Chains A and B, each alone.
Chain A
Amino acid sequence: MTKSLIVSPAAVRAKGTLTFPTIPVNAYDRSFATELKHFGPEGLIAMLHDMIVIREFEGMLNSIKTTGGWNGVEYNHKGPAHLSLGQEAAAVGQAAELDADDYIFGSHRSHGEILAKSFSAARRMDQAKLGQIMSTFLDGDTLRYAEKIGYGTPDELTENFIMFGTLAEIFARKVGFNRGMGGSMHAFFTPFGSMPNNAIVGGSAPIATGSALFKRVNGKPGIVVSNIGDASMACGPVWEAMMFAAMDQYRSLWEASDGGNPPILFNFFNNFYGMGGQTAGETMGYDILARVGAGVNPEAMHAERVDGYNPLAVADAVRRKKELLLAGKGPVLLDTITYRISGHSPSDASSYRTRDEVEAWEAADSIAAFSDLLVSKKVITETGVSDLRGRLVERLTKVLALASSDTELPRVDATMIESVMLSNGHVEAFDDRAPELLQPLAENARVKALANKVRKTTDADGKAVSKVKMFQFRDALFEAMAHRYAIDPTMAAWGEDVRDWGGAFAVYRGLTELLPYKRLFNSPIAEAAIVGAGVGYALSGGRAVVELMYCDFLGRAGDEVFNQASKWQSMSAGLLKMPLVVRVSIGNKYGAQHSQDWSALVAHIPGLKVYFPASPTDAKGMLNLALRGTDPVIFLESQLLYDIGEQFEADGVPTGYYETPEGQPVVRREGTDVTIATLGATLYRALEAADTLQSKYGVSAEVIDLRFVAPLDYEVLLASVRKTGRLVLASDAVERGSFLNTIATTVQSVAFDALDAPITVVGARNHITPAPELEDLFFPQPGWIIDAIHERVLPLPGPVPASNATEGEIVRRARLGV
C-alpha cells in the first residue's frame, strides 16, 4: 500500500511465463587444498573436535536416559533428551563460519548446535573477551564450577565451561546456562550467539526473522540463522516468516542505506523425519525441500540442498550465503540434509524405518568419514584422533560427575522463578544513537492538529465538544507512540495497514510522515510473523510495537503470544528482556469473527502483562507505561472507544508525559451501596446503570475501571467491596471463562466476610457475536447489570427485569453449554 508503486492493468494483465532459477543440489565442489588453506590444520581439527564432543555428549545423554548411567557415573535425568546423534557435521559445518555476532535460533534438537556454535564462537573471539564473558556470566557461577572440573590450558577451561554449562542446564541446575529454567529443549547461550532454542516446531522461524530485522533496522553486525527441521516446512508461522523476510519493500521502499532484506537464513536441518512422519514421500509434496524457495521470491531464496554429512560442504554454503545476506539479498533457504541415527527421543522404537536404512547411514558416518579424510591428508594421525576422543571422553566424564551431583549443584527455588517471570524494568531508550525521524516531531501535521483540540468532552463553558474538535482516545495513543519514537531509536512498529493508511482505526495517522519505513512498515497479513518478529526483535535488544487488527486474529498468532512472547524472559532466567507491545483492537458490529474480547486468553498465560484502558487519559498513560517497560504487554483497545473524549479528568488528557500507575484500578464514580467494576468499554454502560440505580432506586453505585488484567492490584477493589459489601463485575467478554470470574474468586477469597451478596459476573452471552442490529442481545447492557443486582444482590423495589439474571438461568445455560 503506497502511492509510489502503481498497480498497472497493462502490466499485470500482460501475457508471459515464469521461469525459475536453478536450484543447486549437493553442489559442493572445493578441493581439499582450498579448504586446508581456508581453515588451516587447526581449524579442521577443531571441527573434528567439535563433532566428537557432540557425538560423545549426545551418546552420554542417550546412555543416561536408557540405562541410568554413563562411564561409571549414575544419574536419573527426569527431563527430555531429543538427541542429534548423526547430525554433528551439519551443526559443526554451519558454526565454523559464524562469529559470536551471528545468531542461531534452534529447535528442541539443538544440543549439538549449542556446543558447535559456542566452541566456534569462543575460538574466533579474543581471549580477553572470552575470559570476560565466562567470568561475568551469572556472576561467575558457571565458571566457578567449570574450574572445579580441572583443566590444564585455557582451552580446556573453555571446554569445561561450554560442556558443563550446557549439561547443567539440561539437568536443570541453578548454574546451568539459563539457571535450569530452559532445560534440554530450550538451552542456549547468547554471549556466543546461541539464541533461544524452541520446543515448538518451526517456532524459531518468525523469531529469528525478527532478530534479523533488529540487525537490519539498527545496523547491527552479523546474520541470523533459523535452524528448524524439515517437518516445520508445513508450519504456517514458518511460511509467514519467509514471506515476511522476503518482502519487496526492503529493497523497493526502504532506504538503500538501510541495507536491504533482513539477514535471515532459513536453515532446514533435513533429517527426513518429523518424529516418525517421513517428509519427502509421505507428509510433504516438495520432493526436495530446497524447491520451496522457488515459491517465495524471484531469487528462489538462493536455495540449495547441502550435504550435511560433510562439514566442509555445509561451511562452504554458509560462507557463501552469509555474504549474500550481509549484502541485503536475503532471505536464504538451505536444505541441509542429515540423518538422525538415534530415535526422536529415547522412547522412540524406530518403528517407522528399517534397520537397513539406519545402518546405511551409520556406514556413511560423518565423523568417521571426516577423520579418515584428515588422516589421509596427514592433518592428524590415527593416534591423534583416538587421543582426542579419549581426552574428550575423560573430560566429559568429569563434567557429568559434577553436573549430576545433587549435593554440589542446587536447583532454583520458587522465589527465583517468581522473580524472573517479569522483568519490570524501565528503559527510556535501548540504544544511545539519535532516533531517526523524517521531520521534527513538532512539525508533524497531526501533532500540530492535536494542539488545537479540546482535550476533554466539554469546553471551557461546559458545553459538549464535537467529535472533530475533540482530542480522542486514538489521539492519546498516537501521542504515546510519537513520544517514545522520538526517544528510543530502536523502536519500530509494524502490522497490517499501519503505514499510509495509518492503521485501520487511524491511531497511526501522521506517523507515516514522521518515520522512515524501517521504523513503521506494513507487514503481510501474517499474524504469526507479525508477533513472532516482534518477539525476536525485542529479545535481540530493540523495542517493538506490533498490531493485531482484531483480537479475533489472536488465534493466528497463538503460539507467538502464548509460548514465545510470554516465555523467553523466564526461560532465559531473566537474561533476555521482552520490550514488546502487542496492540490488539477489540471489535464490535462485525459479527462473530471480528467482535470478541479475548482478554481471558491472555490473562491465562503467565509471563504476559495485559492492559485494557477505557479512557483517553489512560490510553496515553498506559501506553506510555508499556512503551518504557521491558515486559511483553498485550495492549487491548476497544473500537467503541477510539473516538471518545476524556470525561473523568477535570483538566482533560494531560499534554505532557505521564504514566498510569501499573496495576491500579481507578474509581470512576463513588458510591456506597454496590460496587460495579468493569474491564474495557463496558465502563460506560456501567455508569449508565449507576445513574439509573441512583435516580430510580436510590441505590448508590461505585463504579471502578479495572484498567489492568495483569498485573492487578486488588486493594482499590477490596476497599470498595469492604465499603459496599456488594460486587458486580462486567465486561464485553463472554461470561464463560471470563477473567472476571478470576477476579470474583479472588475477591471472595480475600473479603468473604465483607460480602453481603454473592459476587456477580455480567458478561456477554456464551454465543457468537450476532449482527450489529442484535448486539444488545449479546453484549452486557445497563439493564442487565441492574437485573443482576435485583435478582442476585439487592432486590430493588419494583423493577421489571428485561433479562433473566436468576440463578436457575445460570444453571440452565451451563447445562446447555450456551
Chain B
Amino acid sequence: MARVVVMPQLGNTVESCLVTAWLVAVGDTVDEASLLCEIETDKSTMEVPSGVSGTVLALLAEEGDDVPVKEPIAVIGAPGESVADALAEAGFSGAEPLSEGAAPAPETPAPAPAAATPAPATAVAAPVTASAASPRAKGLASASGLPLSAVAAGTGPHGRVIERDVRATLDAGPALTRGAAATADSFASAASGTGLGGRVTTSDLTTPVPAAVAAASSAAAAVDTAFPGGFADTPLKGVRKIIAERMMESLASSAQLTYTATAPAAGLMALRKRLKDSDPALGMSGITVGDLVGYAAVRTLANHPLLNAHLANNVLRKFDSVHLGMAVDTPRGLLVPTLRFASGLTLREFSAQSKALAGEAIGGSISPDLLTGASFTVSNLGAFGIESFTPLLNVPQVAILGVDAIFPRATIKPDGTVGAEQRIGLSLTADHRVIDGADAARYLKDLAVAIANIDLTVMG
C-alpha cells in the first residue's frame, strides 16, 4: 500500500508551512532518509525526510504552496499503485495530485508508514463586516490596505460603501513625506503613494512627468540604452514576506520613536579583553561585547518593567522575567530567536545559550516555538559600524534596543583639555502609547551606567 507523507507539525503554534523547493520528482526512488522537500515556516526552514522508502507517486503541492500541517504533501509507494486509494485510505479522499505518474523501476514495498492522520478542518469563515459595502469596494479597500472602517461614509444607495467612497478615502488619505512635500510645489499631483503606509514619496512625485517631457526623454533614451535597462522581479515569499508584513504591521500599529544615547565603552573593552584571554576551562572566553551589552540590557530591565512588556488589545502585559529576542542575520533574512528567562541566567549561560540559538537560526533548524514569545528585543548592528539607527518594534513588544558600534568620540576631560573616549551607541525604540520619553530616557540612562560599570554589572 502506498503511503502518504504529510506536512510535519513544526512546533505547537505552527499551522502551516510553505513548500519552498521539491528535492524529488515523481518517479524518483527514495528511502526513509531521503529528503523530499524544503519547507519554511514564518521563521524557519527545514527539510522533510521521506520516512518511507519507495517510489514517489505523486507530489501534492507546488513550490510556493502554503500547506496546513498534517495535510498530505506526497504519496510514496510501489509503481502503479493508486494515489487516490492511498489518500482515501489515509482519510484524504478530497486531495488532488499535482503530478502523478507511473514510476519506471520496481521498488521494494514501503515499510512503516509515516504517521498519516486526518487533517483538521481548515476552513476559515470570512469576517463579516457590519457596514454594507459593495464587493468591488471591499476588494479595492483590501488591495489598498485600507480598512473599510476608515471610509468615512458610503454614498451608494442606502449608504452602501461603494467604490468611489474607497477611492475618495484613498485620494484624501496619503500624507506627504517631508521630502515629497518640499518637491510637491513643482508638480501638479501624485497619482498614488508608494512610501510607507501609502505615503507619497519624492519618487512618486517625480514619476508622472508631464507628457511633453516624457516624449522628449523617451526620444533621448532611444539613442542610449532603453530605459529602464534590465531588472529582476522577485516575488516576496517565505521569511521575506513574513518580515515585510511584520514590519509594516509594526509601523502601522504602534507609536514608536527612537531615543539615542551613548555609554562609555572602555569598561566593556577591558572586560572583553580579560574574558577573551581567560582560561578556556572557565568557558568565558567566547563572551562578546554584544553578550555583555545584552546582559546589561536585561539586568537594567529589572528596574524598568514598563519596557519588558506587550501591548495588545489595549492591555499592557508586564512580564516578571525577561525573554530576550535576539535579532539574527540569517541567509533567509532576519530571524529573532528568543532566549527564554534571560533574566535568570548567569553571563556564561546567557552567552552560551544565545550563541546556540543564533546558530540554530542561521542553520535553519530552530524550532518555530523559539521564534516567538520574546518580551524585549536587542538588535546589534555594532559589528557593521552603524553609528545610530531606528530599530522597528517587534509588536506586541513595546521596546527594542539597537546596539551601535563603538566609536572614539571627542570629550572634555576633567582638566579641561580635549581628548577622545571610546563610546558605544544605544538606539532605543519605544512605543509612545505606553512609554513616555522620560521613561525611555531613564532606562537608557541606567543602561549607560550599567555599561560604564560593566565589571560590576555582570557580578549582580
Q: Which A residues lie at the B interface, using CB under 8 A?
A: 725, 752-757, 791-795
CB B287 to nearest CB in A, in angstroms, measures 58
Docked CA distance A752–B163 (Å): 14
**Contact status B157-A756, CB under 8 Å:** no
Residues of A within 8 A of B157 (CB): 757, 791-793, 795
Known: A791-B157, A795-B155. A757 touches B162 (CB 8 A): yes
User: Which of B135, B155, B162 contacts A754 (CB under 8 A)?
Assistant: B135
Nearest neighbor of A722 in chain B, beta-carbon distance: B136
B133-168 interface code vs A (CB 8 A; 1 in, 0 out): 011110100000000000000011100101110000
Among B135, B156, B160, B162, contact of A753 (Cβ-Cβ < 8 Å): B135
Asked whether, in the complex, the Cβ of B155 is within 8 Å of the Cβ of A753, the reply is no
* 9 nearest A-B pairs in the assembled complex, by CB-CB distance: A756-B136, A725-B136, A756-B134, A756-B163, A753-B135, A756-B162, A755-B135, A753-B139, A752-B135
Measured CA separation A754–B140 after assembly (Å): 9
Task: Please state if A755 and B134 are interface contacts (CB–CB under 8 Å).
Answer: yes
Contact between B163 and A725 (Cβ–Cβ < 8 Å)?
yes
Taking the closest CB of chain A, its distance from the CB of B146, in whole angstroms, is: 16
In the complex, which residues of chain B have a beta carbon less than 8 angstroms from the beta carbon of A793? 157
A725 cross-chain contacts in B, Cβ below 8 A: 134, 136, 163
Q: A725-B163, A794-B162 are in contact. Are A754 and B156 (CB under 8 A)?
A: no
By beta carbon, the residue of chain B nearest A725 is B136
Q: Which of chain A's residues has its CB closest to B159's CB? A: A795
Q: How far is the CA of A636 from the CA of B162 in the complex (A)?
A: 37
Nearest B-chain residue to A806, judged by Cβ: B157
- Please, could you name 27 A-B residue pairs with CB atoms under 8 Å apart, sorted by A? A725-B134, A725-B163, A752-B135, A753-B135, A753-B136, A753-B139, A754-B136, A754-B139, A755-B136, A756-B135, A756-B136, A756-B137, A756-B156, A756-B162, A756-B163, A757-B134, A757-B156, A757-B157, A757-B160, A757-B162, A791-B157, A794-B156, A794-B162, A794-B164, A795-B155, A795-B156, A795-B157
User: Once bound together, how far apart are the Cα atoms of A36 and B7, in whole Å?
Assistant: 88
Q: Specify the chain B residue showing the minimal Cβ separation from A754.
A: B136
Q: Nearest Cβ distance between residue A718 and chain B, in whole angstroms? A: 14
A795 surroundings in chain B (CB, below 8 A): 155-157
**Which residues of the partner chain A approach B164 to less than 8 Å between Cβ atoms?**
794
- Report B-chain residues with C-beta under 8 Å of the C-beta of A792: 157
A791 to B158, CA, bound (A): 9
> Which chain A residue lies CB-closest to B137?
A756
Name which residue of chain B comes closest to A790, CB basis: B157
* A754 CB contacts on chain B under 8 angstroms: 135-136, 139
Residues of A within 8 A of B134 (CB): 725, 755-757
Q: Which residues of A contact B139 (CB under 8 A)?
A: 753-754
Inter-chain pairs besides A753-B139, A754-B135, A794-B156, 4 sampled, C-beta below 8 Å: A756-B134, A756-B137, A757-B156, A795-B156
Contacts of B162 in A (CB 8 A): 756-757, 794
Cα A753 to Cα B141 in complex, Å, equals 12
Categorize the interface residue count of chain B.
10 to 19
Measured CB to CB, the nearest residue on chain A to B166 is A756
**In the complex, A793 Cα to B164 Cα: how many Å?**
12
A753 to B143, CA, bound (A): 12
Q: Mark B254-270, 1 if CB is under 8 A from A, else 0.
A: 00000000000000000
List residues of chain A with CB within 8 A of the CB of B155.
795
* In the complex, chain B residues whose CB is within 8 Å of the CB of A791: 157
Interface string of B160-192 (1 = CB under 8 A from A): 101110000000000000000000000000000
- Measured in the bound complex, the distance between the Cα atoms of B135 and A752 in whole Å is 7
Q: Which of A725, A756, A791, A793 has the most CB of B within 10 A?
A: A756
- In Å, the complex CA distance between A308 and B135 comes to 71
Listed residue (A754, A793, A794, A795) with the most chain B CB atoms within 10 angstroms of its CB: A795
Q: How far is the CB of B87 from chain A (nearest CB, A)?
A: 26
Between B136, B137, B155, the greatest number of chain A beta carbons within 10 A of the residue's beta carbon is seen for B136
Q: How far is the CA of A228 from the CA of B137 in the complex (A)?
A: 63
Q: How far is the CA of A756 from the CA of B162 in the complex (A)?
A: 6
Name the residue of chain B whose CB is nearest to the CB of A748: B135
A674 to B150, CA, bound (A): 25
| C-alpha gap A689/B64 in the complex (Å) | 49
Chain A nearest CB from B180 CB (Å) reads: 28
Q: Report Cα–Cα, A757/B154, bound state, in Å.
A: 12
Cα(A795)–Cα(B136), bound, Å:
16
Tell me which residues across on chain A come within 8 A of B136, comparing CB atoms: 725, 753-756
Output the least CB separation between B44 and chain A (Å). Answer: 35
CA–CA, A372 to B163, complex, Å? 89
Q: Which residues of B contact A753 (CB under 8 A)?
A: 135-136, 139
Shortest beta-carbon distance, A717 to chain B, in Å?
A: 16
Inter-chain contacts of A752 with B (CB < 8 A): 135
Within 8 A of A (CB), among B118-143: 134-137, 139
Measured CB to CB, the closest approach of chain B to A793, in angstroms, equals: 7
Chain B residue numbers with a CB within 8 Å of A756 are 134-137, 156, 162-163
* Bound Cα distance A725, B136 (Å): 7
Smallest CB separation, A329 vs chain B (Å)? 70
A809: min CB distance to chain B, Å: 13
Tell me how far the C-beta of A745 lies from the nearest C-beta in chain B, rounded to whole angstroms. 15
Residue of B with least CB distance to A753: B135
- Output the nearest chain A residue to B162 by Cβ-Cβ distance: A756
Residue of A nearest to B135 (CB): A753
A725 to B160 alpha-carbon distance, docked (Å)? 14
Nearest CB of chain B from residue A695's CB, rounded to whole Å? 19
Nearest CB on A from B256, distance (A): 36
* B154 smallest CB distance to A (angstroms): 10
A795–B155 Cα distance when bound, in Å, is: 7
Give CA–CA (A756, B135) in the complex, Å.
Answer: 6
- Taking the closest CB of chain A, its distance from the CB of B127, in whole angstroms, is 16
Taking the closest CB of chain B, its distance from the CB of A719, in whole angstroms, is 15
The distance from the CB of B329 to the nearest CB of chain A, in whole angstroms, is: 41
Give the residue name and chain of the A residue nearest to B165 (CB).
A756
Q: What is the bound-complex CA distance between A259 and B228, given in angstroms?
A: 80
Q: Give complex CA distance A793, B155 in Å.
A: 10
Nearest neighbor of B133 in chain A, beta-carbon distance = A756
> How far is B164's CA from A738's CA once the two chains are assembled, in angstroms?
30
CA A757 to CA B136, docked complex, whole Å: 8
CB distance from A697 to the nearest CB of B (A): 13
Q: In the docked arrangement, what's the CA distance between A756 and B139, Å?
A: 10
**Which partner residue on chain A sits nearest B154 by CB separation?**
A795
Q: Which residues of B contact A757 (CB under 8 A)?
A: 134, 156-157, 160, 162
A342 → chain B, closest Cβ, in Å? 51
Residues of A within 8 A of B137 (CB): 756
A794 contacts which chain B residues (CB < 8 A)? 156, 162, 164
Q: How far does the alpha carbon of A793 sit from the alpha carbon of B163 in the complex, in Å?
A: 11
User: Smallest CB–CB gap between A788 and chain B, Å?
Assistant: 11
Give CA–CA (A757, B162) in the complex, Å.
7
Q: How far is the CA of A376 from the CA of B157 in the complex (A)?
A: 92
Within the assembled complex, what's the spacing in Å between the Cα atoms of A673 and B135?
A: 16
Complexed CA–CA distance, A795 and B158 (Å): 10
From A807, which residue of chain B is reached at the shortest CB distance?
B157
- B275 CB to closest chain A CB (Å) equals 62
Q: Complex formed: what's the CA distance from A548 to B256 in Å?
A: 78
Q: How far is the CA of A754 from the CA of B157 in the complex (A)?
A: 17
CA distance A756 to B163 in the complex (A): 6
Could you say which residues of chain A place their CB within 8 Å of the CB of B160?
A: 757
Tell me the complex Cα distance, A239–B160, Å: 60
* Residues of chain A within 8 A of B163, CB atoms compared: 725, 756
Tell me the smallest distance from the CB of B328 to a CB of chain A, in Å. 41
B161 — nearest CB in chain A belongs to which residue? A756
Shortest CB–CB separation between residue A803 and chain B, in angstroms? 16
- How distant is the Cα of A752 from the Cα of B164 in the complex, in angstroms? 17
A288–B164 Cα gap in the complex (Å)?
A: 77
CA distance A488 to B415 in the complex (A): 118
> How far apart are the CA atoms of A725 and B167 in the complex, in Å?
13
The CA of A756 and the CA of B164, in the complex, are separated in Å by: 9
Min Cβ gap B143→A in Å is 11
A791 to B160, CA, bound (A): 12
Residue of A nearest to B155 (CB): A795
A1 to chain B, nearest CB (A): 56
Q: A754 vs B139: C-alpha distance in the bound complex, in angstroms?
A: 8
